[in-house]
């Protein structure tokens, strides 16, 4: 049920003068009501393993990571009582890694910076081990246990590895290679002979073998694979205890001094199913119930708990279709729909090929085109039809080593266009085109050499597209260019026809928006510009009233006044731009806007935005 919390600006009145005849009518400032529409995404908590406590009672455990909590979350299987091992005070990590040693001992890698912990179940005791690393990020595939029991975790930044010896409690941290462009160790993997294999990237793919006895590290990928493929190699321990991998289309066997192409085996299961009295312990669902699945009948049974479901940060909002506004959460990218008439939200689950987040939605053909990360996926979903194998429809990927498809825009030619940022460690974004009739995809990379494309704005007067760029590449990539640009691109000739630098020294331009008079507005640093794409000239530049941490612009003017609306996250300000004179006016401020990831201006005059896990809106008078 929707909950409302309202923040009202104080009314401003004209001062009263001594003579009534001289008093102008008092005019109240516009009133802005901020509404909290609730948390549209509530997720279950998967169970990873089961231990027993000192009284031989079974406890199921899962990794709790959401907007407000970092914990090893346990729940007793007999009565649903919660056991929470709080990790929040050690810093906000993107995920927790857990390693069950025995029924009483769980090792944890968590915190920011990342570090190891030991948790003793019977004593309910958490002990930090060793010194923290330099790590601020790691993936849930970044841990492995060697045959001697040592735990290895691959991290970012740099190409760090953290190692714990449970037998002694000793911890060490090391970098695989001294190269600032190689910034990730994604999924370290142990072979049964004790050799650890460490995939490193992402500027170029490298794979190191590491001998724990001699401390020797050796890069074993041939030059042909390192040059032709960015990212990292995907590796796993096979059913025979040896390590196998895949890079691009090549399968291989990893050996301490080389790889052998053309060999592969199935992956050996990393963990055993969490079973209790013959039932699979699946998760704690959105209603706080521990779910157990009977393996014979596949029927669920439940243990009620007091667990409050995970609440996940919202990442994107828009577009609007049949009175519903669509959006996505972050890690994972579940889609939701908010009904503007009833005020109810609906969770639609994972709809896109990219499972981390949906960057944008575009209403077209009676449905929604969606772009998602990772992998620069494009999908089409028709909410009026049942979910099926073909709904949503998988259109494809941008290709060309692209990862983040930032926007979806209909061009003057009726085609759909999307700007992209490349994969981690790479420079050079791409423009992707989707034919909405045939769903055919085509991409062009490096239209702006060695720069990412940040937005696309249609120019119907000339049939062109205005592109904005950033010198940044995929995460960990080191820029080579000094200034970002804006560019006009012709879809017919597939050529850039004009480039400019409207704000001197800008390294990245935000999303641009076209006014009804054809002038295009955009932001960089603490300035904004107005560009006439027909005359091909910057007609105005101005400064923001305050510094900019990041400006978000609404897609287009939707109200009769023709104003363009936006948000400055630096100070939580809603502002408008009047295309008649290029003036920028701050309308109101609210602290909730500082935390927003996305805004959407609805056709009925509401500014929708995200605030952590909450969906918010403000009626613009």
- 526 in a structural domain: no
State pTM to two decimals: 0.86
* Beta carbons within 8 Å of 28's beta carbon, 6+ residues apart: 11, 12, 13
Q: Quickly state the pLDDT bin for 575 (edges 50, 70, 90).
A: very high
* Beta carbons within 8 Å of 249's beta carbon, 6+ residues apart: none
Q: How many other CB atoms are found less than 10 A from the CB of residue 399?
A: 15
* Residue 559 confidence (pLDDT): 87
- 119 in a structural domain: yes
Residue 254: which domain range? 42-261
**Percent of the chain having pLDDT more than 90?**
84
Across-strand partners of 46?
283
Q: Is the pLDDT of residue 9 over 80?
A: no
E strand or H helix at 109, and its extent? Answer: strand 105-110
| Cα 550 from Cα 526, distance rounded (Å) | 9
Cα separation of the two ends of the chain: 26
The number of domains in the chain is 1
- 597 in a structural domain: no
Locate the DSSP E strands across 13-57.
Answer: 34-36, 42-43, 45-46, 49-52
DSSP string, 523-535: EETTEEEEEETTT
CA geometry: angle 124, 86, 44, nearest 5 deg: 110
| Cα 106 from Cα 99, distance rounded (Å) | 6
| Cα 460 from Cα 533, distance rounded (Å) | 10
- 310 in a structural domain: no
pLDDT, tens only, 378-417? 999 999 999 999 999 999 999 999 999 999 999 999 999 9
Query: Any idea what DSSP says for residue 116?
Result: E
Q: Is the pLDDT of residue 30 over 90?
A: no
* Beta carbons within 8 Å of 426's beta carbon, 6+ residues apart: 202, 203, 230, 401, 473, 474, 477
Is there a contact between 52 and 60 (Cβ–Cβ < 8 Å)? Answer: no
Q: Is the pLDDT of residue 303 over 70?
A: yes
* Residue 230 confidence (pLDDT): 63
pLDDT, tens only, 186-205? 999 999 999 999 999 888 89
Radius of gyration of the chain (CA): 27
pLDDT, tens only, 103-154? 999 999 999 999 999 999 999 999 999 999 999 999 999 999 999 999 999 9
Give the CATH number, domain containing residue 230: 2.130.10.10
Q: How many other CB atoms are found less than 10 A from the CB of residue 579?
A: 20
Query: Any idea what DSSP says for residue 270?
Result: S
- 213 in a structural domain: yes
- 177 in a structural domain: yes
Q: What is the mean pLDDT of the chain?
A: 92
- 108 in a structural domain: yes
Q: Quickly state the pLDDT bin for 67 (edges 50, 70, 90).
A: confident
- 75 in a structural domain: yes
Is there a contact between 576 and 559 (Cβ–Cβ < 8 Å)? Answer: no
**What number is the average pLDDT over the span 502-525?**
95
Q: Is the pLDDT of residue 10 over 90?
A: no
**Percent of the chain having pLDDT more than 70?**
95
Q: Quickly state the pLDDT bin for 21 (edges 50, 70, 90).
A: very low
* Residue 425 confidence (pLDDT): 87
Q: Is the pLDDT of residue 17 over 60?
A: no
Q: For residues 2 and 525, which has the higher predicted lDDT (pLDDT)?
A: 525
């Amino acid at each position: 049920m929707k909950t409302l919390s309202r923040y009202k600006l104080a009314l401003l009145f004209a001062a009263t003068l001594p003579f009534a005849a001289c008093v102008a009518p008092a005019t109240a400032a516009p009133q802005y009501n901020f509404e909290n529409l609730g948390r549209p995404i509530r997720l279950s908590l998967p169970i990873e393993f089961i231990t027993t406590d000192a009284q031989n009672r079974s406890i199921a455990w899962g990794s709790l990571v959401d907007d407000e909590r970092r914990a090893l979350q346990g729940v007793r299987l007999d009565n649903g009582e919660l056991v929470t091992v709080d990790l929040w005070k050690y810093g906000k990590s993107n995920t927790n890694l857990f390693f069950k040693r025995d029924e009483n001992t769980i090792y944890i890698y968590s915190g920011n910076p990342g570090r190891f912990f030991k948790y003793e179940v019977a004593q309910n005791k958490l002990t930090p081990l060793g010194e923290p690393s330099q790590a601020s990020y790691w993936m849930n595939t970044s841990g492995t246990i060697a045959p001697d029991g040592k735990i290895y975790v691959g991290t970012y930044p740099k190409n760090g590895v953290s190692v714990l010896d449970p037998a002694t409690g000793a911890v060490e941290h090391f970098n695989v290679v001294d190269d600032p462009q190689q910034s990730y160790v994604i999924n370290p993997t142990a072979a049964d002979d004790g050799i650890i294999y460490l995939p490193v990237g992402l500027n170029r793919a490298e794979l190191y073998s590491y001998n724990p006895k001699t401390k020797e590290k050796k890069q074993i990928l041939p030059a042909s694979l390192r040059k032709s493929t960015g990212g990292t190699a995907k590796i796993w321990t096979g059913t025979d205890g040896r390590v196998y991998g895949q890079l691009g289309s090549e399968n291989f066997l990893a050996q301490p001094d080389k790889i052998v192409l053309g060999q592969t085996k199935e992956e050996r299961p990393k963990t055993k199913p969490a079973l209790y009295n013959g039932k699979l312990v699946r998760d704690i669902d959105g209603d706080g119930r521990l779910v157990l699945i009977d393996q014979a009948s596949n029927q669920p049974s439940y243990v009620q708990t007091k667990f409050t479901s995970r609440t996940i940060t919202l990442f994107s909002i828009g577009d609007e279709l049949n009175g519903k506004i669509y959006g996505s959460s972050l890690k994972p990218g579940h889609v939701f729909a908010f009904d503007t008439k009833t005020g109810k939200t609906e969770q639609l689950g994972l709809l896109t090929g990219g499972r981390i987040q949906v960057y944008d939605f575009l209403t077209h053909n009676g449905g929604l085109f969606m772009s998602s990360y990772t992998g620069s996926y494009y999908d089409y979903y028709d909410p009026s039809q049942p979910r099926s194998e073909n709904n949503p429809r998988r259109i494809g990927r941008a290709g060309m080593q692209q990862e983040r498809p930032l926007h979806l825009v209909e061009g003057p030619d009726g085609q759909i266009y999307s700007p992209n940022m490349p994969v981690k460690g790479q420079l050079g974004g791409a423009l992707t085109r989707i034919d909405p009739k045939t769903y055919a995809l085509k991409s062009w990379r490096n239209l702006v050499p060695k720069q990412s494309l940040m937005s696309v704005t249609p120019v119907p007067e000339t049939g062109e597209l205005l592109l904005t760029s950033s010198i940044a590449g995929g995460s960990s990539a080191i820029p080579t260019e000094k200034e970002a640009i804006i560019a006009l691109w012709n879809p017919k000739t597939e050529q850039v026809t004009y480039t400019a630098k409207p704000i001197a020294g800008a390294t990245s331009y935000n999303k641009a928006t076209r006014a009804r008079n054809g002038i295009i507005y955009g932001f960089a640093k603490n300035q904004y510009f107005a560009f006439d794409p027909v005359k091909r000239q910057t007609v105005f530049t101005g400064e923001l009233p305050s510094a900019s941490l990041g400006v978000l612009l609404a897609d287009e003017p939707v109200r009769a006044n023709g104003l363009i609306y936006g948000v400055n996250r630096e100070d939580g300000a809603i502002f408008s731009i009047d295309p008649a004179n290029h003036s920028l006016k701050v309308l109101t401020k609210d602290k909730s806007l500082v935390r927003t990831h996305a805004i959407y201006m609805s056709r009925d005059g509401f500014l929708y935005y995200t605030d952590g896990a909450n969906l918010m809106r403000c009626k613009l008078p």
